[in-house]
Amino acid sequence: MGSEFNRRDAIKRAMAIGVVAIPSGSLLSACATSSGGDKNKPVATGTKSANNPLGVKNGAPLEAFVFKGGFGDDYIKAAESAYNTSYGVTVKHTGTQAIGPKLQPRFANNTPPDFMDNSGADNLDTAALAKEGKLLDLTPLLDAPTIDDPAKKVRDVLIAGTVEQGQFGSQQMYALNYAFTVYGSWYSNKLFQAKGWTYPKTFDEMIALGAKTKAAGIALFTYPGKYPYYVHFDLFAQIGKVGGKEVLNAIDDLEDGAFQVDAVKQVVGYYEELAAKKYFLAGSEGKTHIQMQTDWTKGKAALVADGSWVENEAAPTMPKDFDLAVGPLVGGGDSDKLPFGTLYAAAGEPFIVAANGKNPAGGMELLRIMLAKKQTDNFTNTIKSLTCVAGSAEGLTLTPGLASASAALKAAGPNVLNARIQDWYVKLNQETIGNLTAQLLTGQINAAKWIEGAQKASDATKKDSSVPKFKHL
Amino acid sequence: MRHGKYRFIIGFLAIPLALYGVLVISPFVQDFQISLTDWTGLTPDKHYIGFDNYRKIIHNHLFWQSLWHNILLLLIVPVVTLALGLFFAFMLNVGGRRKGSASVAGVRGSGAYKIIFFFPQVLSVAVIAILWQQIYNPDPEEGVLNVVLHGIGLGSQAQSWLGDPKLALACIMAVMVWANVGFYVVLFSAGMSSIPTEIYEASLLDGANRTTTFFRVTLPLLSDTVATGWVYMGIIAMDAFAYVQLMSVNNGGPNEKTDVVPLLLFKTAFRDNSQYGLAAAMGVAMLIVTLVFAVLTLRLSRRERIEF
């Protein structure tokens, strides 16, 4: 090395080159934010016929990109093989847990798969996708005849609430939620019979039961502090039971003063009383849902607010003779707008079809195949979950929890509630109000503070222009 | 000759600089670019909206609260981790009783301790978080910590740990320290082994005890390594995303008492209506804070290097 040159100079010059390199870096910025634009892809369409009401083109490729979580993806593969036989192709299948991170770039580049199961913790915001016009309106599917009975339309065989669940503030249905989940207070029938307890019908009876379970050394309820919105499964639906659907819809629609009504005061007051009497298992506020379910299956708590998936999820710790059962919503009593037996149940596992995919008709056809009796039976038998097709569980041998859920759903008839705040305004429900609920159940705040905070949060969400708004139709 | 030399240097620098530009600089530039838009991440379309996202951040109390948690982490976690790392490394390498001719030795069984301390470093953050979730389980019969407390007669001190708004952040800090201390034990051990034994022998001849040796000899000669460790730990503390996301109740709870900016950023981008633009602006804010921290640390710790 010559004397006129030293290491320090080299570093300085290298830095200068680095600075020069920055602008050229922006040229490379195309990778994350490519401005692909619509590339007018040819869309596969075929001739419509009685067997092919959606007009699927024979031999046109179809790509399915599905969530492979608690349900696995074998039930989708089963439907795909039926599709393969009918249309002479092999569906390109990808099953993954990380559905969102993998689909996001596909949507951003306008090259989405045709058929997706947008579920799981990492899913994409279905409402945002719908708002951006990325999803196909599934109305043609709803109006198409079913495979089992060409005289019936798909629309007519779905359980009430399924179509609404896939709508985001307009008549278009953008997602078909395939699995049907029944929510409520779950308990061990064996434990209740052994102790001579009966599932209560009113808040007062529930509190009386709490005294009995406490005397037996068992907490009345437990909940997962890690996910306090589990409590909302009961809480919001109870508001609907006490005050009627209008009260619940007002909350969903973020109406002014929606929380400052008697029904809310009564229900939240009930939770305040449960907390004050220490009827929640100590330490619940620091538990995961698995830890909560383990405590419950071990008999440390009598009841948990949960969904029908609990039978599968808690199976590893649930004793064989647990005799799982679900109780419908408890309420104020005869003054309630809706009778005892009213249930929170909702369709879940949203299947979507891309609006600008290569084979949208094929995506809808695959859904039509999944709604056929053969596929729903397979789903209910293997996954132990109900589907969104009415009466699809009839004639099948069901596990105790599923049988109880199926019976409760039948008994509820039209009195099925579904608080849409839970999927329309996820942050508001899970985090903001969820935090209030966590504090309510540990006695840090009272019902009045909860209502005040919930109303304030609802108003703030309403004012936030970045949050897309939805309304009941 | 001179001309050839430049070609030589440029030839060596071109590839690393190009890689640096593509993999490091360009994402920063893109992040800034995205932060000026209302991009949702779901479409190719985005509109430039100036500094609106930054204005939103400034008025978001949750952002400031999260940033405060990051700063708390930044103040506490590196200090505790490095202090423990230094203490353990000193005991393992220098702090033992003198035996025989060796003037400098670690405590008995130091080899085994080194492996044990390093162990958490081998586990992924997800494993550590799940492990500690079981330890922090509030159940008096299943939560390891509460079982131990009951076992030693301190049952009244049992807590709901991650469910307690006053303790949750401290619980997560403890895990971060536990997970990282082993690496610094090894790093400082390596640093200490390069300190010539003559210096220790000289100080021993002058009658220095362990404490004096540590503060007067070991620490000053290790200051470079400590400063580097400080920057690394600072960056880990500014992140903390995985620990908080996996362990905290209700995603940064209870009652947002453990929320940190990277988690807020993640929720903004991927959950709350896919606001990539706003999340990118939070990323820029984090970049600035991290840069300030790194520059300050390196400035404050600059001192004459001792060659040995």
pLDDT band at B101 (very low <50, low <70, confident <90, very high): low
Domains of chain B: 54-300 (1.10.3720.10)
- Taking the alpha carbons of A373, A376, A381, A382 in that order, is the dihedral positive or negative? positive
pLDDT at A160: 80
Q: pLDDT band at residue A16, thresholds of 50, 70 and 90? A: very low
Largest CA distance in chain A: 98
Please tell me if the domain spanning A63-178+346-397 has the same topology as the one spanning A182-343+418-463.
Answer: yes
Sequence ranges of the domains in chain A: 63-178+346-397, 182-343+418-463
Secondary structure of residue A442 in the 3-state scheme: coil
Mean pLDDT of A272-286: 91
How far, in Å, CA of A71 to CA of A66, rounded?
11
Give the one of A10, A134, A287 whose C-beta lies nearest to B138's C-beta: A287
Exposed e or buried b for every residue in B197-228, given b needs 16+ CB within 10 A?
Answer: eebbeebbeeebeeeebbeebbeebbeebbbe
Taking residues B51-78, what's their average pLDDT?
Answer: 89
Residue-averaged pLDDT of chain A: 86
> pLDDT tier at B37 (50, 70, 90 boundaries)?
confident
Beta strands A301-307 and A176-188, pairing class: antiparallel
| Alpha carbons A229 and B133: distance in angstroms, whole number | 19
Are B172 and B80 contacting, i.e. CB atoms less than 8 angstroms apart? no
Residues of A in contact with B143 (CB under 8 A): 283
pLDDT in tens, A463-472: 988 788 888 8
**pLDDT tier at A19, thresholds 50, 70, 90:** very low
Per-residue pLDDT tens digits for B152-183: 888 777 888 888 888 899 999 999 999 999 88
Beta strands in A225-359 (DSSP E): 301-307, 324-327, 343-353
Chain B CB within 8 Å of residue A34 CB: yes
Give dist(CA A138, CA A471) in Å, integer.
19
Q: Residue B50: helix, strand or coil by DSSP?
A: coil
Residue B5 in contact with partner chain A when CB distance is under 8 A? yes
Residue by residue, DSSP assigns A114-127 as SEEE--STT---HH
Q: What angle do CA A233, A239, A241 make, to 5 degrees?
A: 95
Task: Give the pLDDT score at A18.
Answer: 42
Q: Phi/psi zone of residue A419: left (φ > 0), alpha (ψ -120 to 50 degrees), beta?
A: beta
Please identify among residues 49-78 of chain A the ones whose CB lies closer than 8 Å to any CB of chain B. none
pLDDT above 70: residue B103: no
Average pLDDT for B69-83: 91
Q: Say if strands A219-222 and A92-96 run parallel, antiparallel, or are unpaired.
A: unpaired
Q: Reduced to 3 states, what is the DSSP secondary structure of residue B98? A: coil
- Give the residues across from A347 on adjacent strands: A180
Q: Which helix (H) or strand (E) covers residue B177, if one does?
A: helix B168-193
Residue A64 sits at φ, ψ, to 5 deg, of -110, 130
The pLDDT score that the predictor gives to residue B306 is 63
What confidence score (pLDDT) does residue A304 get? 94
pLDDT value at residue B202: 86
Q: How far does A238 lie from chain B, in Å, by closest CA? A: 22
**Per-residue model confidence as pLDDT tens digits over B198-254:** 888 888 888 888 888 888 888 888 888 888 888 888 888 888 888 998 888 888 878
The Cα of B127 is separated from the nearest Cα of chain A by a number of Å equal to 15
In this prediction, residue B90 carries a pLDDT of: 84
Instruction: State the CB neighbour count (10 A cutoff) for residue A40.
Output: 7
The radius of gyration of chain B's CA atoms, rounded to the nearest angstrom, is 24
Strands A343-353 and A176-188 come out as: antiparallel
Residue in the structure block whose two tokens are 């069901």:
A398
Examine the pLDDT at A28 and tell me if it is beyond 70. no
Q: Which residues pair with A348 in a beta bridge?
A: A179
| Average pLDDT of the residues of chain B | 84
End-to-end CA distance of chain B: 35
Contact A267, A204 (CB under 8 A): no
Which residue in this structure is represented by tokens 């008025």?
Answer: B59
Nearest to A287 among B1, B26, B137 (CB): B137
pLDDT value at position A5? Answer: 46
Q: pLDDT tens, A216-239?
A: 999 999 999 889 999 999 999 999
For residue A285, the chain B residues in CB contact (below 8 A) are 138, 160, 163-164, 249, 254
Q: Percent of chain A, pLDDT > 70?
A: 91
Q: Which residues is A389 bridged to in the sheet?
A: A158
What's the pLDDT band for B100 if we cut at 50, 70, 90?
low
Q: What is the dihedral of CA B261, B266, B267, B271, to 10 degrees?
A: 170
DSSP-based helix, strand, coil % in chain B, nearest 5: 70, 0, 25
The 3-state DSSP class for residue A330 equals coil
Distance in Å, alpha carbon of A26 to nearest chain B alpha carbon: 6
Q: Which CATH superfamily is domain A63-178+346-397 in?
A: Periplasmic binding protein-like II (3.40.190.10)
B42, B171, B258, B275, best to mutate vs chain A, most A CBs in 10 Å: B42
The H or E element that residue A448 is part of is: helix A447-463
- Please write the tens of the pLDDT for every residue from A34-64: 444 444 456 777 778 888 888 888 889 999 9
CA closest to A3 among chain B residues: B2
CB A274 within 8 Å of CB B243: no
Cα dihedral value A54, A55, A57, A58, nearest 10: 80
pLDDT of residue B114: 79
Per DSSP, which regions of B254-294 are E strands? none
Comparing CB atoms, the residue among B21, B143, B163 nearest residue A285 is B163
Q: What is the mean pLDDT of residues B76-105?
A: 78
Interchain CB distance below 8 Å, A125 and B274: yes
Strand locations in A263-378, DSSP E? 301-307, 324-327, 343-353
The predicted model gives B128-140 an average pLDDT of 88
- Mean pLDDT value across residues A261-286: 92
Place of tokens 């985005």: B46
Q: How is domain A182-343+418-463 classified at the CATH fold level?
A: D-Maltodextrin-Binding Protein; domain 2 (3.40.190)
B250–A291: do the CB atoms touch at under 8 Å?
no
- The phi and psi torsions of A252 (rounded to 5 degrees) equal -60, -35
**Residue A3 carries which side chain, given as an amino acid letter?**
S
Q: What is the ipTM of this complex?
A: 0.79
pLDDT class for A14, splitting at 50, 70, 90? very low
Structure tokens at B264: 């807020």
* A304 strand-pairing partners: A186, A222
Which of B6, B258, B271 would best serve as a mutation to test chain A binding (most A beta carbons within 10 A)? B271
pLDDT at A166 over 50: yes
CA distance B200 to chain A (A): 34
For residue A228, give the chain B residue with the closest CA.
B250
Is residue B98 left, alpha or beta, with left meaning phi > 0 and alpha meaning psi from -120 to 50? Answer: beta
A25: nearest CB among B25, B250, B267: B25
CA distance B275 to chain A (A): 8
Rounded to whole angstroms, the Cα distance separating A110 from A370 reads 26
State the nearest Cα–Cα gap between B267 and chain A, in angstroms: 9
pLDDT at residue A303 in the model = 93
Average pLDDT over residues A146-159: 90
Q: Are B71 and B266 in contact (CB under 8 A)?
A: no
The 10s digit of each residue's pLDDT in A359-407 is 999 999 999 999 999 999 999 888 888 899 988 888 888 889 999 998 9
| B residues 29..88 contacting A (CB < 8 A) | 29-30, 33-34, 39-46, 56
Comparing B41 with A7, the larger pLDDT belongs to B41
B304 pLDDT higher than 80: no
Task: Please tell me the distance from the alpha carbon of residue B181 to that of residue B79, in angstroms, as a whole number.
Answer: 11
pLDDT at B116 (0 to 100)? 84
- Pairwise CA distance, residues B85 & B83, whole Å: 5
pLDDT attached to residue A65: 93
**pLDDT at res. A38:** 46
- Flag if A26 and B142 touch (Cβ within 8 Å): no
Q: What is the pLDDT of residues A83-111, one digit of tens each?
A: 999 898 999 999 988 888 888 889 888 89
Mean pLDDT of A199-224: 92
Number of A–B residue contacts, CB under 8 Å: 180
